[in-house]
Amino acid sequence: MHLSHFEDRINAVCERHPDLPRQAVILTRLIRFLSGAIDDRLSRLLEREGLGGSAWAVLTMIYSDRDGAARPSCIGQALSQSRAHMTRISDDLVTAGLVERVANAVDRRAVDLRLTAEGERRVQALLPQVGGLYQEMLGIIDPAGLDQLETTLRSLLGHIEHLPPIDPTTGTSA
Amino acid sequence: MHLSHFEDRINAVCERHPDLPRQAVILTRLIRFLSGAIDDRLSRLLEREGLGGSAWAVLTMIYSDRDGAARPSCIGQALSQSRAHMTRISDDLVTAGLVERVANAVDRRAVDLRLTAEGERRVQALLPQVGGLYQEMLGIIDPAGLDQLETTLRSLLGHIEHLPPIDPTTGTSA
DNA sequence: TTGATATAGTTCGCTGCGTAACTATTCCCC
DNA sequence: GGGGAATAGTTACGCAGCGAACTATATCAA
C-alpha cells in the first residue's frame, strides 16, 4: 500500500532525471521498509514483556555466548551501539533482575554481564516466540527463494561493507 | 565481518533450540544490517549538506509531487513518521530557506509545503549524488539478480504488511 | 442549523541513542 | 620500571523521534 504510492513518486522523479538508477532506488526503499516492518513486529511482541529491541538484543548476545557472559563494549560493537547506551540498557536490565554485573578478575576495567536465573528463563521463554515471528514473516518464500535471497543479501552486505567510507567533506566515496 | 561473528552466535543458540528457524533469523539480520548500512552511507553524504535523513526525505517527497506541494501529515504518513516530527522538520527546512509554508485555500486546516528556488536547486544538485550512491551499493548484483531480488522483496513486504497486527497483550498475531 | 466526530497542525514531555569528557586500568615501548 | 597511548565503563548533554493534549477547521447526522 505504501510502496505503490512511493513508486509513483519515484517514477515522477525518474521522468525528470532519466539518469537516476530507478531500480536501485526502489530496492533501497524495499529494504528500508522491510527492515522497519520486521523491527516493528518484533518491538510489538517484546512490548508486552517490558523489553525494548535493544534490551532483547543484549539479552540474546549474552545468552548466545558459549560462556554465558559478555562485556558491554563487545555487545555494543556487535550491535552498532554506543558504550554509553550499553551502560543504560545494562542498568535497566539489572534493575529488572534479568542481568547481573560481575567484575572481571583478569581485566579490572571490564565488567561481565551474566543472565540471572530469571533472565535465562525469560530468554528461553521468548526465543520460540521470536523464532515463530521470523518464520511467519519469511515463511511465504519457498526454500529455493530463501537460499537465493540469502546469497544475494550476503554478497550485497559484503560489498557495501568493503566500499570505501564516504568522505564527509567531498561526499564521494573515494 | 560483523555477520560471521553473529552467525557463530546464531548457530550456538540454534544448537540449544533446534526448533528455531535458523535461516529466517539470519535473513532478518541481513536485512537489518543492509538497511543500516544504506542509511549510514546516505546520512554521511547528506551530512555535508547539513541535512538529516528525514529532512532529505521530506524534500524529495515535495519534489516528487506532480504539483510541487505536499502536506505535512501526508508526508509523515508516507514516511511512517509522526505529525509532530514533521512540524519540527518543516521548521528546520523553513529556517534553512529550502521550504515555505503556504496556507491551503480549500482546507484552512492544512498547510502546503513547497520548495523555494534554493530548495529545488539543492534537490536537483543532490539527486544525482544520491542516485550514484545507490547504484554504487547495488550495482555489483547482476541485472537478473536485481530483478529476482526485487520480486522477492516485493512479495515479502506485501506479505508482512498483510499479516494481522500483533496483539500487544497476547504477543500473538491472531 | 446545530451538535458530534474526525482531521491538520502545533506544543509539550518522554524515550532512545549518540558524542564528548572523565576516571580507572591495561598495554607497550624506552 | 616508568610514562604515554589505548581501552572499559560511566556521566553529562544534545538530537531525533513519538504520543498525548490542544486549537482550529471540516464533515456528517439529526
Task: Note whether residue A54 is domain-resident.
Answer: no
| One domain, residues B61 and B137 | yes
Tell me how far apart the alpha carbons of residues B127 and B130 are, in angstroms, rounded to a whole number: 5
Tell me how far apart the alpha carbons of residues A172 and B133 are, in angstroms, rounded to a whole number: 9
Burial class (CB in 10 A: 0-12, 13-18, 19+), A22: middle
| One domain, residues B85 and B6 | no
Task: Note whether residue A139 is domain-resident.
Answer: no
Asked whether residue B26's C-beta has any atom of DNA/RNA strand D within 7 A, the reply is no
pLDDT in tens, chain B (174 residues): 467 788 999 999 999 999 999 999 999 999 999 999 999 999 999 999 999 999 999 999 999 999 999 999 999 999 999 999 999 999 999 999 999 999 999 999 999 999 999 999 999 999 999 999 999 999 999 999 999 999 999 999 999 998 888 876 666 664
| One domain, residues B36 and B89 | no
* Closest residue to A141, CB basis, from B19, B20, B156: B156
| One domain, residues B42 and B58 | no
Task: Note whether residue B168 is domain-resident.
Answer: no
- Specify the pLDDT at position B61: 98
Domain count, chain A: 1
Judged by DSSP in three states, B133 sits in helix
Q: Strand D: which positions are within 7 A of a protein CB?
A: 7-13, 15-21, 24-27
* Closest residue to A64, CB basis, from B9, B33, B146: B9
> What does the pLDDT look like over A39-66, one tens digit per residue?
999 999 999 999 999 999 999 999 999 9
| One domain, residues B150 and B81 | yes
Give the closest residue to D20 (Cα–C1′): B84
- Specify the pLDDT at position A143: 96
Residue B57, all three cell numbers: 526525505
**B26 min Cα distance to partner chain A (Å):** 8
Task: Note whether residue A84 is domain-resident.
Answer: no
Task: Note whether residue B167 is domain-resident.
Answer: no
Q: What domain range is B127 assigned to? A: 51-159
Q: Which residue of A has its CA nearest to B61?
A: A9
- Specify the pLDDT at position B169: 67
Tell me how far apart the alpha carbons of residues A156 and B110 are, in angstroms, rounded to a whole number: 42
Task: Note whether residue A26 is domain-resident.
Answer: yes
Strand arrangement of the beta sheet that strand B99-103 belongs to: B69-70, B111-115, B99-103
| One domain, residues B114 and B153 | yes
Q: What's the per-residue H, E or C state across A51-84?
A: CCHHHHHHHHHHHCCCCCEECHHHHHHHHCCCHH
Please, which pLDDT band fits residue A134 given cuts at 50, 70 and 90? very high
Task: Note whether residue A92 is domain-resident.
Answer: no
| One domain, residues B133 and B69 | yes
D27 C1' to B70 CA distance, Å: 22
Q: Are the C-beta atoms of A156 and B141 separated by less than 8 Å? A: yes
Q: Hey, are the CB atoms on B27 and A153 less than 8 Å from each other?
A: yes
Residue B37, all three cell numbers: 548500512
| One domain, residues B116 and B34 | no
- Specify the pLDDT at position A162: 87
Give the closest residue to D15 (Cα–C1′): B52
Backbone region of residue B88 per phi and psi (left: phi > 0; alpha: psi in -120 to 50; beta: other values): alpha
C28 C1' to B157 CA distance, Å: 52
Q: Hey, are the CB atoms on A9 and B64 less than 8 Å from each other?
A: yes
Tell me how far apart the alpha carbons of residues B34 and A156 are, in angstroms, rounded to a whole number: 8
H/E segment holding residue B103: strand B99-103
D16 C1' to B79 CA distance, Å: 14
Count Cβ atoms below 10 Å from residue A64 Cβ, excluding itself.
20
Residue A125, all three cell numbers: 521463554
| One domain, residues B28 and B84 | no
Give the closest residue to D25 (Cα–C1′): B109
| For helices A22-47 and B117-138, angle between their N-to-C axes, nearest 10 degrees | 90
- Specify the pLDDT at position A20: 97
D3 C1' to B120 CA distance, Å: 57
* C-alpha pair distances (Å), B143 with each of B136, B140, B153: 14, 9, 15
Nearest nucleotide over every DNA/RNA strand to the B106 CA, judged by C1' = D26
| One domain, residues B70 and B149 | yes
Task: Note whether residue B172 is domain-resident.
Answer: no
Q: Hey, are the CB atoms on B5 and A78 less than 8 Å from each other?
A: yes
Q: Are the C-beta atoms of B94 and B111 separated by less than 8 Å? A: no
CATH code at position B104: 1.10.10.10
Asked whether residue A81's C-beta has any atom of DNA/RNA strand D within 7 A, the reply is no
Task: Write the DSSP string, A113-171.
Answer: EEE-HHHHHHHHHHHHHHHHHHHHHHTTS-HHHHHHHHHHHHHHHHHHHTSPPPPTTT-
- Specify the pLDDT at position A172: 65
| One domain, residues B42 and B89 | no
Q: Which residue of A has its CA nearest to B171?
A: A45
Q: Provide mean pLDDT across the span A104-131.
A: 97
Tell me how far apart the alpha carbons of residues A29 and A33 are, in angstroms, rounded to a whole number: 6
D1 C1' to A133 CA distance, Å: 59
Q: Which of A40-54, A76-90, A160-174 has the lowest mean pLDDT?
A: A160-174
| One domain, residues B40 and B67 | no
Tell me how far apart the alpha carbons of residues A76 and A61 are, in angstroms, rounded to a whole number: 10
